[in-house]
Structure 1
Amino acid sequence: MSERPNRYSAVAITLHWLIALAILSMIPMGLWMSDAINDPAQQALAYRVFQIHKSVGFLILTLTVLRVLWRLSHPVPALPLEMKGWEQFAARATHVAFYALMIAMPLTGWVYVSSGWAVTTDHPLAVATSWFGLFGIPHIGFVEHAAEVARRNIAFASMGAHTFMAWGAVVLVALHVGAALKHQFLNRDGVLAHMVPVFKHVDGPTAAEPKASTKWAERMAGLGLIAVLAVAGAIAARPAPMTEGPAKAPVAASAPQDADVVAGTAQAWTIDKAQSNIAFSGTHSGAPFTGTFGEWDAKVWFDPADLAGSKAVVTISTASGKTGDATKDGSLGGAEWFDPATYPTARFEADSFTALGGNRFEARGTLRIKSMTVPVVLPFTFNEASGVATVEGKVELDRTAFDLGMASDAAGSWVSKAIEVTIKVRAERAS
């Protein structure tokens, strides 16, 4: 049997304190944001804190898995011999409980966000998950795609378990810190030096390795404590029966296909994609956001002297809509928003143009997003010099008319109903 070390390894110490700092930051975040998220004055900040909370949770989960693997492959310091048997049992069981808690809490949080349901409002709320905005984290498939009633029940149960375990974490942290300080300043047995290198190690007899049966009893006690907290929380958080179902978005039998384009008779133009863009903007939790569509195609025939023969058809890849925020972009790609898997393109077609005076014009047509086709009037300016035209236009759209975000946010409490779309186009006369 290998000799037990005097203190934990540098890797174990580093992981311990990283996880400790993360947990200590999570508790006040969770307590504050659960109330602030429903306060319009604090909603924008609470949303950002919620995203940080999720990211830190996944960090804790990853670090804990690494720490468990490290501990299984590296011996740990023995406890002092003068510790009573029940103290040794409690110390080891508490360590197991901590490990279980640091894995179970992030997992229940992951289940909750995967459900797409907000327990505070008892309403669907589909929000994508990203890790500190750097990359998306997929939701748990069987939870995300479960039936509506099942997702609601899962959301309440997982959040109830998450909340009870959070309070359990507060108690365990208090006990852990209290025990460490007791050993350092009352018992003076050097236990704290195992994890804090600045403290001096105290030589003395150490307790023998517990029997295998005792080890299993310690593990079961620690795991049982967390299981009781989780089950109690899940039961206590059972939702009331649904009195009415959430708003349901229209469902199309199949995605419409883009028809072949019938050319206009006016002057044809070739779009310079590098010098052109289609952008959108709105507000989320009271804070402005902007985005662009990276992939689109436009066929334009336009002549101020031949408005009757003018026409424009723009096809946009819905999957290319990006805001630069991984969480928002993940939500845009969900079934509740653009749903690119079912509706890969949006289409604007204008075949009626009106001169408004000077360089100002108006294009009338239809915009199809998902299964919804809505009449749209797009005011724009047209300027031409040496066969090169610049076009700028702006239109405000009501996202609810296009079945965007209707299950989670039909009222516009989170994402503004009004979404502004701007176009800037540079084009050359086609030969």
Structure 2
Amino acid sequence: MPAQRYSYAAITLHWLVALLLAFQIALGWALEGNNSPELFARYQLHKSVGITILLLSLARLAVRLVTPRPPASEGPAWTRALGSIVHGLFYLVMILGPVTGWLLVSTARVQVPTLLYGIIPWPHLPVGRSWHEPAESIHGAMAWLAIGLFALHIAGALRHQWLLGKPELQRMIPFARGKAVGAAIGALALLLVVFAAGNAIYPDKKQTPLQKLPAAAATPEAKATPSIPATENANAPKADAAEKAAAEGAKQPLADWTVASGGRLGFTARWNGEAIDGRFSRWRATIRFSPDELAKSTIRVTVDLASADTGDGQRDDSLKSSDFFDVSGHPDAVFSARDVRHLGGDNYEARGSLDLRGVSKPAILRFTLRIEGDRARVAGTARIDRTAFGVGQGEWAATDAIAAGVDIAFSFTATRPAS
């Protein structure tokens, strides 16, 4: 006898894909607005859900081909033909929609790697940029087609169930072997809840006007010369170790200092007013310094730009691209200074240059230094203007979404050879 209900595998895959499609359509409508962390997160989730729909749809197609299914409902030829067309177009949407989205990501000017749900790497398709515009047009058409098919599919099922008195819903809705009213209402309610969730996920936070950001982030002076206000230490002693040593007549010789492990080099950028914190996990410093020989003191810090870590793997990979750090062409940023000045107490200033992305600009670091024996503790800050170095090309060059000023903060301990 022919099957009266779809298999458990078919039912499970049908509803998983249906719920994900409803979520994905709503999420697609939310992919608008200014560049922001929330919009970035929505795009990443949209990609992950799209690939999931593709894989589940292929599995659903395989189940359809190999397992028995209930016979088609009786009725006029035009209704049966329309039903077949709707089902065929659904498979087209469920497969071609994600594939064209995959093409869009693979041919985008800014190559953002895809990590499914932030965990599983997914490769780009090996195609050229000429595929981008056709894929974009088809992808948008698939979304509208999916909405129309949803309406036709639901209307057809309800027509067969209640107008024609045929138990269509019992064949596909779980737990609906008897009366299907409650199960149908529950299924529609679940679809609406999932649709609402797709539209509401990652809501945009209240944006902070650029004029309310710290002044150095938007002033022309910050663009001309990257710098930062001096780091103040309210608890700084009136005389540091160097002054005490000088008072005792013990001049500190020029020495090569070795930076100990455990130091931190961090940065903070502002994206639509929201602070995005990150750090560089690999950097090295060559320091030749004496508080009594500042004219001969030198500092050189080399930063491995590929080690940038903001807590989001896809965003970190974007930073490595040619639109930002251009790691393939300029793997390191280098700060070097031969002009070190004592500002009083524990406070110092190092004036030099920062080479970043093939551009060299003057830069100033201000830091506090405390020397205790042959061990020194250092903490400091700086501010650079990313646009002065070309960090942020194309749509990212404007400062309305990502502010120009980027704050740098560092701290470490260092030792010198025992005297």
Identify whether the pair has TM-score above 0.5, normalized to the shorter chain. yes
Distance 1:385 1:141 in 2: 58
TM-score scaled by length of structure 2: 0.76
Is 1:427 aligned to 2:404, yes or no? no
Contact map agreement 1:298 1:312 (CA 8 A) in 2: yes
- Give the equivalent residue in structure 2 for 1:134: 119
Q: Which amino acid aligns with 1:326?
A: G
Q: Is the 8 A contact 2:370 2:376 kept in 1?
A: yes
1:8-407 equivalences under 5 Å are 8-34=6-32, 37-38=33-34, 43-80=36-73, 82-116=74-108, 127-143=112-128, 146=129, 150=130, 154-200=131-177, 266-274=254-262, 276-407=263-394
RMSD, aligned α-carbons: 2.4
Structure 1 unaligned regions, length at least 5: 118-124, 203-264
Measure how far apart 1:399 and its partner are: 1.0
Provide the secondary structure at the position in 1 that maps to 2:105.
helix
Decide whether aligned partners of structure 1 residues 163 and 430 sit closer, same or farther in structure 2, where only a CA change above 3 A counts: same
Residue correspondences, number = 345
Partner Cα separation in structure 1 for residue 3 and residue 176 of structure 2: 15
Give the C-alpha shift of residue 296 in structure 1: 1.5
Deviation per CA, 1:360-391: give whole Å up to 9, x if none.
Answer: 10111221122112221111111122422111
Secondary structure in structure 2 of the residue aligned to 1:395:
strand
2:184 corresponds to: none
1:310-331 deviations in whole A, cap 9, x for unaligned?
1122222111111111221121
Please give the secondary structure, in 2, of the residue aligned with 1:380: strand
Partners of 1:136 and 1:312 lie apart in 2 by 40
Q: Deviations over 1:174-226 (max 9, x none)?
A: 00011111122222322222211322279xxxxxxxxxxxxxxxxxxxxxxxx
Deviation at 1:155, TM superposition (A): 4.3
The residue type paired with residue 270 of structure 1 is T
Paired residues of 1:8 and 1:76 also in contact (CA < 8 A): yes
Q: Percent identity?
A: 34
Distance 1:364 1:136, change over 3 A: farther
What amino acid maps onto 1:27 in structure 2? I
TM-score normalised according to structure 1 size: 0.74
| TM-aligned CA deviation for residue 9 of structure 1 | 2.1
Three-state SS of the structure 2 residue aligned to 1:200 is coil
SS of match in other structure, 1:57: helix
1:293 Cα deviation from its structure 2 partner: 0.9
Q: Return the alpha-carbon distance in structure 2 between the equivalents of residues 416 and 127 of structure 1.
A: 21
CA contact (8 A) 1:278 1:421 kept: yes
SS in 2 for 1:33: coil
Render the CA deviation track for 1:160-183: whole Å, top value 9, x for unaligned: 222222111111000001111112
Question: Residue 430 and residue 98 in structure 1: after superposition, are their counterparts in 2 closer, same or farther (change >3 A)?
Answer: farther
User: Is contact 2:319–2:325 with CA below 8 Å preserved after alignment?
Assistant: yes
- The answer as to whether partners of 2:112 and 2:318 remain within 8 angstroms in 1 is yes
